Chains A and B, each alone.
Chain A
Amino acid sequence: MPDVMSTLPGLVARVTRHPADEITADSRFSGLGRWGSLVAVRLLANIEQTYGVRLDLRDYLKIGTVGELADEISRHLAARATPAG
């Protein structure tokens, strides 16, 4: 499984215009300059296209930090990699 935190800051930077090298697992979305619901929807689309996952919007909207988002994406990638049963 790829390390999501190596690529996710680049996507967050793409939509927020916050420098990628300043985005860490502890970065809170609400503290990233242009954050808002439209930016959140754009980020979701970028994530789903990049990682090939589909997130539950309710869970996604509750996420506060970049690290939590990386964990959520990783969980989906792991679930996809391990067939049920």
Chain B
Amino acid sequence: MTGPTSSGPTPSGPAPTDDLLERVDALLRSPEATDPDLGDQLARAEDPLLLCEAGILLENVTAARVSRTAPRRTTPLRIAVAATFTADGVAPLLRTALLASGLDAEIHLCPYGRLDDQLTDPASALAAFRPEVTLCLRDSGSLLPADWDPSDLDAVRDVLLEQVAATGMAAAGFAERTGSAVLLHTVPLPRPDRDSVIGYRSRAALGRIWREANTLLLRAGEEHAGVYAFDLEAALADAPGPLRDERRYRFGRMAWTPHVELVCAREAAAFARGVTGLGRKVLVLDLDNTLWGGVVGDDGPAGIELGTLYPGDCYTDLQRRALALRRQGVLLAVCSKNDAGLVNQVLADHPDMVLRPDDFVAVLADWQPKDTRIAALAEELSLGLDAFTFADDSAFECGLVRGSLPQVDVVHLEGDPAGHSSKILDPARFAQLGTTVTDTERTTLYRKRRARHRFGATQGSVEEYLSGLGIQVLVGAADEFTLPRLVQLELRTSQFNMTGAAHGEALTRRMAGSADHAVLTVEVTDRFGAEGVVGGVWLDRGPERWTVRNMVLSCRVLSRGVERAVLQYVADRAAAEGATLLEADYTPTERNGPAASLYPDAGLSRREQDPDGTLHYLARLDELMPLTPDWIALAPKETLDHA
């Protein structure tokens, strides 16, 4: 699976359109057939009519059959499309965009014009579908009364703002009730409505009023838990062709042309990657002709192209974009075939460099094969290769990494360097729902992790190593500051995730504020520094029995016994509040094998198994053995609220 614009050496440019549909047909003819390159081709195709037909045909084809690697997420994403207009054209485009992103999906299309009642009625078909992601698509006709009066724009404004506020509330209510992530968007105003106002002052007023309404929609996506918004109106500045074809609208209430439907579908797929935690986390960059123009080994530090003049300014821009990513939590690394001394000199001293040594989690400058270096870096950072994006100008290096590390998203920076930044910044690539305090400090955290990994290599026994680390585990109730990070962590964590599920922001907030539940955060510090929030626990608190609904731990802190200390904390709290039993659930997934042994090893006994494979474990609290390993100091961060 790769990001949409990733490309290795492309042999012959874009495939002729019907060739793509023939490849889809070949998949349909045999259920065993696969076409690992098709996902990338679909991601690159720009013809919405072709992609729509492909999406209709691909309804029952899995992402695994059109991807170069097994999908990270193994259960289909439940995604609903609810629109105030006929959105039948959006659903197949969404299907292709999701498949191209490596996501299998079950798509539910609400009947036309039913957005508002489907969101607000607790018994609606939409609610019964239990979507994980809900797209709320709206056209101007649902906000603007048909007989709006251009000579009374104040009245128009009142109606508009009321409608939009109701939309925000309905979305927030639905997110809160169902736990679904809800995506709103700004609504573009079609040309006939704009042209209905003939006075320049009034037309300016209409534009302002319309944007007030869109500003409210964007604000809903900033403020309400579980509600997000994307700026469709702004995105359309880059779309070819008009917003609406009046024939399609008058005949079938199709409010968007196919090009606009494609923009929306791709934004929604990028959002789905954010919701499911599939956004890339590491950007590995080449140096020569990638981070700067020219070859430092030949041209010398003074001869490389950077600065304010073309083409040097293109490379400077790419560095600024990379820095912006770093500030939002993406880890940067250098992987370059170069002399290390020369590279360090340029990174530290070149006056036009934007990125400096501290911006990188690792600077790998030597003559080893890049696939080997990237694989080793993934190991040192304890991150999966599917978290990596690799950008290089060399077709050879791109082909090598693409071939031997198919999980890595490869961006081939070919052609005019003016286009390089946009290639890297594709919205689906680094998509995440929100950035948190930990994101801004992530480079420092991972630099420490790398140091820790290397410290490990110099120690004798594992226990000796762990004791030398001086690990402290702090557990406490999630608060306003740590909760967003926790929600993000549960989404991103697939290995040490006891159920493989994610509660989502709305539900987590509700559990954190309830006397019958609790949400705990886990922080770890050691001699290399603080790791920040690296884990969490979702609990039911009953008078007799406490139940661990889920526990997640970042792979940053695995293999140190932290999970046992956390379980100890839960058991201690439960006993202190008068409970006698501790229950814990484990649902096996394809990736959470590392978590399977925690409950049985801790002495909980296995009880019944649900049809979905969930195993229930139980223990009497007074019979539990001490769980915290000798090398860990366990400390409560604070007492639980509502206790």
Using a CB–CB distance below 8 Å, which chain A residues touch chain B?
10, 14-15, 37-38, 41-42, 45-46, 49, 57, 61
Contacts and interface: CB of A to CB of B under 8 A. Distances in A.
Contact of A49 (B49, B53, B251): B49
Contacts of A41: 248, 251-252, 254
A38 B258 contact: no
Given A38-B88, A38-B252, A10 B49 contact: no
Contacts, number: 25
B60 to A, nearest CB: 14
B248 A46 contact: no
Given A41-B254, A49-B47, 7 more contacts: A10-B18, A14-B18, A15-B53, A37-B252, A57-B247, A57-B251, A61-B251
Nearest to B248: A41
A41 B245 CA distance: 11
Interface of B: 18, 21, 47, 49, 52-53, 88-89, 247-248, 251-252, 254, 258
Most buried by A among B21, B49, B258: B49
Nearest to B254: A41
A46 B53 CA distance: 10
Contacts of A61: 251
Contacts of A42: 49, 52-53, 89
A14 B247 CA distance: 22
Closest 6 CB pairs of A and B: A57-B247, A46-B49, A45-B49, A38-B88, A14-B53, A57-B251
A57 B251 CA distance: 9
B288 to A, nearest CB: 42
Contacts of B53: 14-15, 42
Nearest to B52: A42
B251 A14 contact: no
A41 B252 CA distance: 9
Nearest to B86: A38
B51 to A, nearest CB: 12
Contacts of B47: 49
Nearest to A60: B247
A22 to B, nearest CB: 16
A82 to B, nearest CB: 25
Contacts of B88: 38
Nearest to A17: B57
A72 to B, nearest CB: 15
Contact of A45 (B18, B21, B251, B258): B258
B28 to A, nearest CB: 10
A56 to B, nearest CB: 9
A45 B247 CA distance: 11
B258 to A, nearest CB: 6
Nearest to A49: B49
Contacts of B251: 37, 41, 57, 61
6 contacts: A41-B248, A41-B251, A42-B52, A42-B89, A45-B49, A46-B49
Contacts of B21: 14
Contacts of A57: 247, 251
Contacts of A10: 18
A52 B379 CA distance: 54
Contacts of B89: 42
A47 B601 CA distance: 66
Most buried by A among B52, B251, B252, B258: B251
A26 B258 CA distance: 30
A74 B251 CA distance: 24
A42 B86 CA distance: 13
A65 to B, nearest CB: 21
B23 to A, nearest CB: 14
Contacts of B18: 10, 14
Nearest to A50: B49
B522 to A, nearest CB: 51
A49 B257 CA distance: 12
Contacts of B252: 37-38, 41
Most buried by B among A10, A42, A61: A42
A61 B252 CA distance: 12
A45 B18 CA distance: 16
Nearest to B17: A14
Contacts of A14: 18, 21, 53
A15 B251 CA distance: 19
A57 B18 CA distance: 26
A21 to B, nearest CB: 14
Nearest to A38: B88
A46 B49 CA distance: 7
A41 B88 CA distance: 11
A57 B246 CA distance: 10
A57 B250 CA distance: 10
Nearest to A45: B49
A46 B89 CA distance: 13
Nearest to B48: A45
B247 to A, nearest CB: 5
A14 B248 CA distance: 20
B111 to A, nearest CB: 14
A43 B333 CA distance: 49
A15 B258 CA distance: 15
B497 to A, nearest CB: 41
A57 B203 CA distance: 31
A50 to B, nearest CB: 9
Contacts of B248: 41
A57 to B, nearest CB: 5
A42 B93 CA distance: 13
A10 B18 CA distance: 9
